[in-house]
Amino acid sequence: MKDSADGDEFNAQGLGNMDSLHIFYLPNSPVLPKQELSSSALIELNGNHWRKILTIVAKLMCADKDWRTYRDKQLLDEVGFFFGDYLVKKKSRQHYICGKSHWLTLQKEPITDQDVSCDDANKAWLLKDSKDIASRIMLLPYPDYRQFNNRLIDLIKKEYIN
């Protein structure tokens, strides 16, 4: 794993609640609004691409079926997004590294028979050294519907998040 950062160093590379238990790692950051940060402002500035990302993450994290309201009103208060090339160092984190190319950037990939594939197509993995729920590392497909469909969202949410 690449070295982690302490303190406020990651704030320039993070979005949302960087003190959250749930941190999603993405290879590219969005254009940020000059006014108050909100899901709708991110979608307005960055288009359909970021609408898909926020929607998939909201579906994963939302406790009930009302993921639209969760995405629009709570997601950025409850989840962090990080765009650096290292894992954020904090105690008790669940790290979700999105996209195979980003798995490699962060020097994480399923390489042993003890890493757990979360689905039949081997699109998502729980790394062997992270089975402790307080500090687990999950490798996920990039949050786009072609790679991360509703069936996979439901499976990951049911078996590994809630």
Q: What is the pLDDT of residues 90-148, one digit of tens each?
A: 666 788 888 877 877 777 766 666 666 676 777 776 666 655 445 678 888 899 888 89
Confidence tier at 4 by pLDDT (50, 70, 90):
very low
For residue 27 the two structure tokens come to: 């290879």
Domain assignment present for residue 2? The answer is: no
**Distance from C-alpha of 5 to C-alpha of 65, rounded to nearest angstrom:** 35
Do the domain assignments include residue 141? yes
Q: For 125, list phi and psi in degrees, rounded to 5.
A: -135, 145
pLDDT at 11 over 70: no
Q: pLDDT, tens digit, for every residue of 31-81? A: 998 888 999 999 999 999 999 999 999 999 998 889 999 999 999 999 999
Is residue 1 situated within a structural domain?
A: no
Q: Could you tell me if residue 51 is inside a domain?
A: yes
Count up the domains in the chain and report the number.
Answer: 1
Burial class (CB within 10 angstroms; exposed 0-12, middle 13-18, buried 19+) of 85 = middle
Arithmetic mean of pLDDT, 13-39: 91
Say if 90 falls within a structural domain.
yes
What is the pLDDT, as a whole number, of residue 91?
61
Distance CA 91, CA 81 (A): 17
The verdict on residue 25 lying in a domain is yes
Domain interval for residue 75:
7-161
Using CA atoms, how far apart are residues 1 and 85, in angstroms rounded to an integer?
10
Residue 78 belongs to a domain = yes
Q: What is the pTM of this model?
A: 0.83
The pLDDT value recorded for residue 146 is 86
Q: Is 104 exposed, middle or buried (0-12, 13-18, 19+ CB in 10 A)?
A: exposed
**Which ranges constitute the DSSP H helices of 11-107?**
39-46, 48-61, 67-73, 75-78, 100-105
CA distance 141 to 9: 27
pLDDT band of 26, cuts 50, 70, 90: very high
pLDDT tens digits, one per residue of 122-138: 777 666 665 544 567 88
